Amino acid sequence: MSSNVEKIRRQFPALQGSPAPIYLDNACLTLKPQCVLDAIEEYYLEYPGCHGRSDHRFGRTATRKYERARARIARLVNASNDFCVLFTRNTTESINLVANGLDWRPDDEVVTSGIEHNSNLLPWQRLAKEGGIRHVVAPVNADTSFSMEGFADALSDRTRLVSMVHTSNLSGVTFPIEDIAKSARRHGALLLIDAAQSVISQDIDLKRLDVDFVAFSMHKAFGPTGTGVLCARRQVLEQIRPSFIGGETVSDTRYDSADFVDAPDRWEAGLQNYAGACGAGAAADFLASLRKSDIRRRLTSLNQVATEAVLSLPGVRLIGPEDPTLRAGILNVVIDGINPHEVAMLLDQSASVMVRAGYNCVHSWYHAAETPESLRASFAIYNTLGDVEIFTQSLAKIVKHFR
């Protein structure tokens, strides 16, 4: 194990112990470094007050720390003053905020891809069923990579919004956002990017990318659960009707009217997850201390070794491109004739290897592609070659047992 990886691993309490657990479910949720845990605890121990409401020292400190966390998130994605950072619970809530807030016309169309997470499918599906929009699914290539031809055919002059995954949790492919943005703009459409998987390994630069909304969850980026982000272009955010209103969203009320405040508070109703925001800010700083190019290089090297070993096993089929460099840190496979849930349980029980089994919240693609449930390993910067070797060797034994 390189000294750099060893140094990183020491910062994660969940990876300590002998033997250390082998955690390969990072596409679902990443582990938390000590600095994040400290930031959460610090809020509750040292300044457990409300943001923007109380004049005492707890309230003032909570307000300062909360806004500092917002600024740290903005730096993580290089958000200019044209963008506003809103705290939500997760990517799902961020996307729903847009879906439920825009003033839809009956002929509006929303275009998504064929490999969207349920969080970027169900909001549009429901709007379509309720008669609010038409939902158009742009097909992807057989290996789940982006199809510009399929996307172009899905667009029309009625396209109001393109809502697209950046990096897929299904296969790890990364979509060409700049090309997608150019096509969307030619049709006058808004663009929302689901960056839940990409924020940890891809360079997201909102001063460069021509997008209107970027949604992600901090629990996939070394941060706490229950804390998400929506970065919204301020000019477009004004078109979004807040899903919730109440305390914090107004400067004054009367029995029959209210004066609403500006962004971001207008879209953050009620008492927020201040501890989570502070933890998210610490996670953003931790992630910023790591070069994205180093993260990608490490994920690719681990994926290359794992891919070669796993695909040498009988009856194993890959979901996604064969080239590991095109799949970020995700290795998702179907093992013919073997229940992936049983395999996942056996890996955990026999070797303390934690992976994901099932439809990975992309049921729609599995059904359309007539593909059974799969076994997914997903890597992070703290994983080692030893982790990969134990995973692949243990998987080989399980496959041999069932064969």
Domain of 101? 36-288
Residues 311 and 255 occupy one common structural domain: no
pLDDT of residue 364: 98
Question: What CATH number does the domain containing 75 carry?
Answer: 3.40.640.10
- Among the three residues 266, 288, 310, which one is the final residue of a domain in this structure? 288
Nearby residues of 41 by Cβ (< 8 Å), 6 or more positions away:
none
Per-residue DSSP letters for 22-76?
A: EE-BTTT-----HHHHHHHHHHHHH----TTT--SHHHHHHHHHHHHHHHHHHHH
Residues 17 and 55 occupy one common structural domain: no
> Hey, which residues are catalytic here?
361
The structure's pTM equals 0.96
Residues 165 and 224 occupy one common structural domain: yes
Question: What CATH number does the domain containing 21 carry?
Answer: 3.90.1150.10
pLDDT of residue 2: 65
Residues 62 and 108 occupy one common structural domain: yes
Residues 171 and 311 occupy one common structural domain: no
Residues 171 and 305 occupy one common structural domain: no
Residues 184 and 279 occupy one common structural domain: yes
Residues 240 and 93 occupy one common structural domain: yes
Residues 63 and 165 occupy one common structural domain: yes
Cα pseudo-dihedral 352, 356, 358, 364, rounded to 10:
180
pLDDT of residue 106: 87
Residues 283 and 303 occupy one common structural domain: no
Residues 51 and 148 occupy one common structural domain: yes
Residue 176, CB half-sphere, CA atoms under 13 Å: how many? 12
Residues 260 and 332 occupy one common structural domain: no
Domain count along the chain: 2
Q: Contact 4/383 with Cβ under 8 angstroms? A: no
- Label the pairing between strands 250-254 and 257-260: antiparallel
- Among the three residues 288, 319, 353, which one is the final residue of a domain in this structure? 288
CA angle 25, 28, 34 (to 5 degrees): 80
pLDDT averaged per 10 residues, the chain (length 403): 84 93 98 98 97 93 98 97 97 98 95 98 97 94 98 98 98 98 97 98 95 98 98 96 95 96 96 97 97 94 98 97 95 97 98 98 98 98 98 97 85
